[in-house]
Amino acid sequence: MLQATFKKYTLQFKQASGTSRGILRTKDSWFIFLKDTNQPNLIGIGECGLLKGLSADDVPNYEAKVAEVCAKINQHEYWLSEGLRQFPSIHFGLEIALKDLTNKGSKILFPSPFTKAEIPIPINGLIWMGKKAFMFEQIKAKLAAGFDCIKLKIGAIDFEAELDLLKFIRQHFSAQEIEIRVDANGAFLPKNALEKLKQLSDFELHSIEQPIKQGQLTEMAHLCEKTPLPIALDEELIGIFTPANKRKVIETIRPQYLIFKPSFIGGYSGTQEWIDLCEEFETPWWITSALESNIGLNAIAQWTATLNNPMPQGLGTGQLYSNNIESPLIVEHGNIYYKNNGLWDLTNLSINPSNP
State pLDDT tens for residues 258-291: 999 999 999 999 999 999 999 999 999 999 999 9
pLDDT mean over 146-167: 88
The vertex-63 CA angle with 96 and 7, nearest 5°, equals: 60
Tell me: the pLDDT tens digits for 57-90?
Answer: 999 999 999 999 999 999 999 999 999 999 999 9
Please check whether residue 336 is in contact with residue 120, taking contact to mean a CB–CB distance below 8 angstroms: yes
Is pLDDT above 80 for 156? no
Is pLDDT above 90 for 16? no
Distance CA 94, CA 117 (A): 26
pLDDT at 18: 62
Distance CA 91, CA 65 (A): 11
What is the fold, at CATH topology level, of the domain defined by 2-107? Answer: Enolase-like; domain 1 (3.30.390)
Q: CA–CA distance from 46 to each of 6, 82, 100, 120, 144 (Å)?
A: 9, 19, 8, 23, 34
Nearest CA to 318 among 349, 287, 289, 353? 289
Backbone torsions φ then ψ of 68, nearest 5 degrees? -65, -45
pLDDT at 299: 98
Residue 249, C-beta contacts closer than 8 angstroms, at least 6 positions apart: 217, 233, 236, 237, 240
Is pLDDT above 50 for 353? no
pLDDT mean over 138-144: 87
CATH homologous superfamily, domain 121-347: Enolase-like C-terminal domain (3.20.20.120)
Please check whether residue 125 is in contact with residue 316, taking contact to mean a CB–CB distance below 8 angstroms: yes
Catalytic residue status for 153: yes
Is pLDDT above 50 for 332? yes
Q: What residue segments make up the domains of the chain, in order of their start?
A: 2-107, 121-347
Is pLDDT above 90 for 248? yes
pLDDT at 354: 38
Selecting among 142, 153, 196, 246, the annotated active-site residue is: 153
Banded model confidence at residue 109, pLDDT cuts 50, 70, 90 = very high
Nearest CA to 121 among 313, 282, 349? 313
State which H helix or E strand residue 207 sits in.
strand 207-209
Please check whether residue 279 is in contact with residue 85, taking contact to mean a CB–CB distance below 8 angstroms: no
Catalytic residue status for 196: no
Selecting among 99, 107, 151, 261, the annotated active-site residue is: 261
Is pLDDT above 70 for 352? no
- In three-state secondary structure terms, 247 is helix
